[in-house]
Structure 1
Amino acid sequence: METFVVFDLEFTSWPGANAADWSAPGQLREIIQIAALRLAADTYEVVDEFEALVRPVQNPTLSPYVSELTGIEQGELDRQGRPPAAALGAFLGFCRQQVVVSYGNDMVVLGENVGWARSRGEQVANGFLGSGFVNLRPLINSLAPATASANAGRLWSVLGLPRPGAAGGQHSALFDCHSLAVALRELGRDPSGPVRQLITASVRGTAGLGAVDPQPAR
């Protein structure tokens, strides 16, 4: 079965941080939640999913702003959060030998966090080289201009699609993945259309990527 992965991240933030590109002293985009769905390349149906909370190191206490935005509470993160290197390695293992798509440049934030973990002397299992990362936001925005100001978790609404059945809402990484998945399913209905063509070419054009057991071991 040919498959690909959609993923989304949530990371530390503060009021005004996005507009200032996290340039204030001590403000880093430390990942606090990673989610991903493995989709069948022919139907875009969900084959498997991944989700992990991640404990930030530089700013271990979440700002009230990001807790309200994401719904992630400090106690939940303290209890269930995984060390960054462990969570990142598990996620990269989920993505191994796959084309990995996002709605935005989440792969840049992912790379920052892998770099910080390695600079602390932590070993991150797996790596980027066995996967192909693609930002689909420019294509989606060009095909559906109404999405230009929408985040991943609002794509379903902007496109007039039924709400995904996943728990949570926008800025919950797993919900955002489901929202992106239903958007891709809608925009990729035409086998000769640009979404379907790009994903198919990416999956089949990356040597050996995309063929996995539909029931992968965890």
Structure 2
Amino acid sequence: MNGKPTLFRHGLVLGLSGLAGYLLLESRAEWSEMHRYNRALGDLSLLLIAMAMALGPLARLSTARFVRKLLPYRRELGIYAVLAAIVHTIIILLGWVELDFARLFGFEFHPQLQRYVMVQHGFALANILGIAALLYGIVLAATSNDFSQNRLGASVWKYIQQGTYVLWWLTVLHTAYFLFFHFLDFHRQTPEPNWAQWPFMALVGAVLALQLAATIRTWHAQRHRRAAT
């Protein structure tokens, strides 16, 4: 009964994700292949999560019916955001740290000391945040279906899905480090140029503004209802 709408949503989100991913990839044509794909998929994941986060507040703020009809797309947006994040992680493991997992947490092998030493504290923290976000995302994506909702029950399922807010902020912090701080360790921004800093701040600011506006509107509506009774 719900198969066709669900299939349509998957197809539409997948198509838009592919287009956005291609544009993000081409926007950094001068970068190395590893960094191009790494950043394009990371940015795509952030963009899809931001869209999912924005739909709820938009539905509370708008009286237009078509906005409420977009709410089911949050499920597909979240699923493809997590898939993009998984591929993003695989590229980092293979292309950046080259399966040396100590490097993922900021350690490098010191040939004179014959042991690993911490050289990138920020890299370690940012990747810990990224791993936490990915684990949250996998749980959310795995339960973003009617079967899980029915098996877990409405209250438990809703509690799990509220982890979207945690996922969002972990992703924002992880992204912010690589956009603004990581390459400062080397006194240069590499690779260059990185155009995404201002769009990133605008995106995060827009989601925050929508959430704040929706919260204020809900608060006012509740006050009016209490006053009326």
TM-score, normalized by length of structure 2?
0.28
Higher strand share: 1
TM-score, normalized by length of structure 1?
0.29
Larger radius of gyration: 2
Q: Using CA pairs below 8 Å that are at least 6 residues apart, which structure has the higher relative contact order?
A: 1
